Amino acid sequence: MSYNLLKGKRGIIFGALNEKSIAWKVAEQAHEEGAVFTLTNTPIALRYGNINDLATATNSQVIPADATSIEDLSMLLDKSQQILGGKIDFILHSIGMSMNVRKGLKYDNINYDFYHKTIDISAISFHKLLQLAREKDAINEWGSVVALSYVAAQRTLYRYNDMADAKAMLESIARSFGYIYGRDKKVRINTISQSPTMTTAGSGVKGIDGLMDFTERMSPLGNATAEECAGYCITLFSDLTKKVTMQNLFHDGGFSSMGMSYNAMSQYTKGLNAEVGDDE
Amino acid sequence: MSYNLLKGKRGIIFGALNEKSIAWKVAEQAHEEGAVFTLTNTPIALRYGNINDLATATNSQVIPADATSIEDLSMLLDKSQQILGGKIDFILHSIGMSMNVRKGLKYDNINYDFYHKTIDISAISFHKLLQLAREKDAINEWGSVVALSYVAAQRTLYRYNDMADAKAMLESIARSFGYIYGRDKKVRINTISQSPTMTTAGSGVKGIDGLMDFTERMSPLGNATAEECAGYCITLFSDLTKKVTMQNLFHDGGFSSMGMSYNAMSQYTKGLNAEVGDDE
Amino acid sequence: MSYNLLKGKRGIIFGALNEKSIAWKVAEQAHEEGAVFTLTNTPIALRYGNINDLATATNSQVIPADATSIEDLSMLLDKSQQILGGKIDFILHSIGMSMNVRKGLKYDNINYDFYHKTIDISAISFHKLLQLAREKDAINEWGSVVALSYVAAQRTLYRYNDMADAKAMLESIARSFGYIYGRDKKVRINTISQSPTMTTAGSGVKGIDGLMDFTERMSPLGNATAEECAGYCITLFSDLTKKVTMQNLFHDGGFSSMGMSYNAMSQYTKGLNAEVGDDE
Amino acid sequence: MSYNLLKGKRGIIFGALNEKSIAWKVAEQAHEEGAVFTLTNTPIALRYGNINDLATATNSQVIPADATSIEDLSMLLDKSQQILGGKIDFILHSIGMSMNVRKGLKYDNINYDFYHKTIDISAISFHKLLQLAREKDAINEWGSVVALSYVAAQRTLYRYNDMADAKAMLESIARSFGYIYGRDKKVRINTISQSPTMTTAGSGVKGIDGLMDFTERMSPLGNATAEECAGYCITLFSDLTKKVTMQNLFHDGGFSSMGMSYNAMSQYTKGLNAEVGDDE
């Protein structure tokens, strides 16, 4: 089902790795909705994923870029405008990485070079992108920029580690830059706080199965999928949400507003009883 | 511009009084987006406004109903399904009234009968509507219910009076019922926290001009209009936001995320200088 | 251990029923900290509890009052000032009751007379108390008023029912009146959002054991006890927190800032495994 | 007035520069409340301020340390325990610096080396301190750590620049580490979000006068002073707040819960009238 919501709009989509990626789904739906866009990811990610299939399917070009590099981002913005034939209307930032998580370094034993890298990749890359776009005046008035975040920015989840701090900073950047870019050029900037999602990145997190079972039972509508997140992104890129900015928007089936559900508690109580059983 | 976002959907729209009303704009846009719906308001409001023009323009019927009356709401739900030919897909609740405000009774000198009435009309009416709809199973799975709120639910604005408490309760009802209706029937329930708007209700508030000047200069994108709010409602009624529930969503040009803007401060400082002038 | 933090201060404490009550612990500690105060509860509660033991132990008088009655509250404020020899410095509001909960009426099947009663007792009583105190100028400058709340005001917990809406409204009243009373008389008004607590009221809630096990394992410091809550109240009544107002303060061992803890997840996962076992 | 609230407690206080500093006031009051502590600041700050007067007055030793250096922080923790005769009970982190602000680089034209430095000094220093303390087991059970923050972490204020992002990250670190340190050692970690304050740092901010006038008139109790902030810190270091953790606590006279006050609007409206005057 498509609505032509993005007809005539030009975009840049960061972070599509493979068909499980949220960014992948966003690209597919943006294409269906009439947008043209470029795809970008790091050279390494491009090697491991199959983004070329996506490029073919959506009739778009892939531009390799390291999102922490001013030069690469600058080239990306220039080239995208050139390829697409004008200023950009929407951008999806779906980027995050923690070497501390990858290396299994716990939050009370982190490596500070990795910590800076986590922040650089997962948060400051967003600022660099916006500062460059602003400098180049690369985004059309009423353009829309969305970055993907997670509830860990507000509430601690064990094992999410320094990514929580990166997401908190990412959401702050959306507000800080949202003020400036909104005031000067009417560009809106928001973050979407998405349910835990079984992407390639997500499935690497230890214990993600248990967590997703919990959030599924806590959320009255269940976890939001990557496809559903893409649909929500489309609404934020469309002209129907022009006055929404500087917001962190939960797309999580209701999880963020739940204290305890009947379903999750029933499951939890089985654990209590199981324990009682263990004691016998 | 229309997208067919609500094609085939049936709705009920509360609170359209005249062409300034947010509900009026929602009706117009819902009609353009392919929805069919009934319009409702209190018998008194129907006499003062010109809702019949809207009914004609949108090819819809008007059903008078007092939103605090179980009987009226029950009749409204039954009749709407009958007229529209099936279960309901979306509802807009745009209802609020404070006799304390109308009578100029300040918040530290309120009348408690009026206070209960404020709560009954502005908040509990939402619960009654949902409880009845749930009982009658009147809303389709993945249906969407939106109530209009205001930032006074989180932050005190002088003169907003007991409406602040009513809005806080309204948002709580959206969460409380959102859990149940989501879990059982996949119905999503959200509130939109809209900029101050020059509706007939809004223009009656003393000092609204000054406040709107302030929020206009504070908000990087300026105040959101009634038309823009309607556009946002459409996205929430559409199938693209199925996993958004139990949320209070700010539609305010960024105001809610601002501490102080350059524009508002420049204006404020003129006041400081003016005062210095007064002292001379 | 006592510090004379409330030396010379006069207070009114609502809601002490028996030695499990938070209000009871507040009275004990306020007494140790040098305060004088009156105790109050409804006539019925006074009959069922053993508040006279507390009155004797703290050398204070009990004044029966229905917190929904203007007359009773008026008498209470007058009599308390008379007994204590001057204006009031602090008040604890620890009042809440839902007939819907008591009668087992679920949130999607509530009785609206009960709903209004829940709001009247659990939220509007706070407004009445403040409006009367303001009218009578019964509270000293820099006085401190605290009401007890619960995280259900922000996040839905099944079975908490219409009390969630009442707590949301209570917190809103604290803000709305906190603005006025602060501006005019420097009186500060806050709510404390306390862990679930095994008071007589709490222990009546179905499934409270399971919930408290969950919150205990989620909270890095464990659930906060009634005694600990009393200590926190003392700090808010003291002169050391004079500029804290209109806040909802979580006293919950960290629960409100948690998304998922290792301990709670371990327990939850046992439930998952138990379930797997059940299927075999 | 003192209460012996910190009798027998040992602390470390970061950030006292001169008698205007919040940290300075905390040291004075902690001393009055019976605590012993060490004072620390960067070698440069020690040269410009007059911390030795404070050390003499509070009978404490000054330990120069760069809060971004693992070596310095390690030495500080070791030496403090040695001097004070045991493990630490409380720590105040009052550290923040942005070269972008100092150099007048606007947020949409920042230098990224400076940005990393802002984060390193103003946020990551807090993590380093906590990680080292945890590693060394340098804090007693039920110890209390407080960092000073600002509402810019939630709402954008023009000119606050990259410090907003640093404060957002700082508050996230308080939550992330608060979980771990609470679970393992019962240590509580909070941030205080303080009113704008006329410290040496504050007075360097361009336009601080206008902002403080605005927040003064917005806040029902007026801006909180450095002394008052110190009093609030004392309560958080005391045994009366043992179950408060992972919180950001507003100490701001009510500002954070205000949307618009009568006093601020009166002033603002003068600005509007002044403008009208300009037009004539």
User: Band of the pLDDT at C104, cuts 50, 70, 90?
Assistant: very high
Please tell me the predicted confidence (pLDDT) of residue D274: 59
User: Band of the pLDDT at A201, cuts 50, 70, 90?
Assistant: confident
Please give the average per-residue pLDDT across C8-16, as a whole number. Answer: 97
Neighbours of chain C (3+ CB pairs under 8 A): A, B, D
Q: State the average pLDDT for chain D.
A: 94
The helix/strand/coil state of D54 is: helix
Q: Go through chain C and tell me how many residues it has.
A: 280
Of D221, D231, D244, the CB nearest to C182: D221
Please tell me the predicted confidence (pLDDT) of residue D113: 98
**Are A259 and C157 a contacting pair at CB < 8 A?**
yes
C contact residues 40-99, partner B, Cβ 8 Å cutoff = 70
Interface residue C264 vs chain D (CB under 8 A): no
Task: Find the closest chain A residue to D176 by CA distance.
Answer: A156
Of C109, C116, C178, the CB nearest to B116: C116
Q: Is the pLDDT reported for residue B275 higher than 70?
A: no
Please tell me the predicted confidence (pLDDT) of residue A230: 98
Residues D84-93: tens digit of each pLDDT: 999 999 999 9
Edge-to-edge strands of the sheet including A10-14?
A: A61-64, A36-41, A10-14, A88-93, A139-149, A188-194, A248-251
* A44 class by beta-carbon count within 10 Å (0-12 exposed, 13-18 middle, 19+ buried): exposed
- Give the mutation candidate from C151, C262, C269, C278 for the A interface (greatest A CB count, under 10 A): C269
Residues C234-248: tens digit of each pLDDT: 999 999 999 999 999
Q: Are D251 and D195 in contact (CB under 8 A)?
A: yes
Residues B15-65: tens digit of each pLDDT: 999 999 999 999 999 999 999 999 999 999 898 889 999 999 999 999 999
Q: Is the pLDDT reported for residue D279 higher than 50?
A: no
Q: Is the pLDDT reported for residue D276 higher than 60?
A: no
Helices B162-185 and B125-136: crossing angle in degrees, nearest 10, is 10
Distance from CA of B211 to the nearest CA of A (A): 18
Q: Name the more confident of A273 and A162.
A: A162
Please tell me the predicted confidence (pLDDT) of residue B274: 59
Q: Are B230 and B25 in contact (CB under 8 A)?
A: yes
The DSSP 8-state label assigned to residue C122 in this structure reads I
pTM metric for this prediction: 0.96
Residues A89-112: tens digit of each pLDDT: 999 999 999 999 999 999 999 999
Please give the average per-residue pLDDT across D2-30, as a whole number. Answer: 97
Q: Is the pLDDT reported for residue D40 higher than 90?
A: yes
Residues C198-225: tens digit of each pLDDT: 887 777 777 888 999 999 999 999 999 9
The DSSP 8-state label assigned to residue D257 in this structure reads G
Please tell me the predicted confidence (pLDDT) of residue C203: 76
Task: Find the closest chain D residue to B262 by CA distance.
Answer: D158
**Are D272 and B268 a contacting pair at CB < 8 A?**
no
Reported ipTM: 0.96
Please tell me the predicted confidence (pLDDT) of residue A207: 80
Please tell me the predicted confidence (pLDDT) of residue C208: 84
What is d(CA D189, CA D237) in angstroms, rounded to the nearest whole number? 10
Q: Are B252 and B228 in contact (CB under 8 A)?
A: no
What ranges make up the beta strands (E) of C134-234? 139-149, 156-157, 188-194
The residue type at D57: A
Q: Is the pLDDT reported for residue D261 higher than 50?
A: yes
Percent of chain B with pLDDT over 90: 88
Please give the average per-residue pLDDT across B127-136, as a whole number. Answer: 98
**Are D151 and B268 a contacting pair at CB < 8 A?**
no
Q: Is the pLDDT reported for residue D201 higher than 80?
A: no
Please give the average per-residue pLDDT across C169-194, as a whole number. Answer: 98
Interface residue A264 vs chain B (CB under 8 A): no
**Are B176 and C107 a contacting pair at CB < 8 A?**
yes
Please give the average per-residue pLDDT across D153-157, as a whole number. Answer: 97
Cβ neighbours around B140 below 10 Å, total: 17
Residues D103-150: tens digit of each pLDDT: 999 999 999 999 999 999 999 999 999 999 999 999 999 999 999 999
User: Band of the pLDDT at C278, cuts 50, 70, 90?
Assistant: very low
Residues B163-192: tens digit of each pLDDT: 999 999 999 999 999 999 999 999 999 999
Distance from CA of A186 to the nearest CA of D (A): 15
Residues B103-112: tens digit of each pLDDT: 999 999 999 9
Interface residue B180 vs chain A (CB under 8 A): yes
Distance from CA of A129 to the nearest CA of C (A): 30
Domain ranges, ordered by start, for chain B = 10-279
Please tell me the predicted confidence (pLDDT) of residue C242: 98
Give the fold, CATH level 3, of A10-279.
Rossmann fold (3.40.50)
